[in-house]
Amino acid sequence: MKKVLYTLLAVSIIFAACKKEDDEVVAPTVSIVGTWTPNSSLLEQSETVTVAGVEVYSSDTSYTMTSTDADWEFTDVQFTSAGEMIMDGDTNSYSHSGNVLTITEDGETETHTFTVTSTSLTVIMNETEEETIDYMGQEGTANYSFNMTLNCTRQ
């Protein structure tokens, strides 16, 4: 009886010690290098003015544009393997880590969030600003927010 008990105990320990190996899934890394054509953008802007803790003005705007719209001004952008971003004849430097794209233009650095696949690139730009203003003779605070999502396809 002891032999059967020890055998069952040994088998259960072996099964408990065995661990199913996880199949590691590694997402393919897609390069941002290439030429991208912007095809749509979503723009969201807001402004609020506050005086003595009271909101006296507020404005929100949101709209989508596509490359077929008459006011469309975006042109192709090229990211090179040498860390250059070329757009409208201007060359600036860029780098990226994870989903953060850093662009340096005229000594100023901007960071944006981006996603890239083999055929599409989406860049999300967010800016906020707060400033002290004179509102009808009283000191106030103006808060501005600008968010743009730019969608591109690889050429």
- pLDDT in the model for residue 26: 46
- pLDDT in the model for residue 29: 78
pTM of the model: 0.74
- pLDDT in the model for residue 39: 97
Strands, E, within 84-137: which ranges?
84-87, 90-97, 100-105, 108-116, 120-135
Q: Which residues, including other chains, have CB under 8 Å from residue 100's CB and lie 6 or more apart?
A: 111, 112, 113, 114
* Chunked mean pLDDT (size 10), the chain, 155 residues: 43 49 58 97 97 95 96 96 95 95 94 96 96 93 97 96
pLDDT tens-digit series, residues 48-70: 999 999 999 999 999 999 999 99
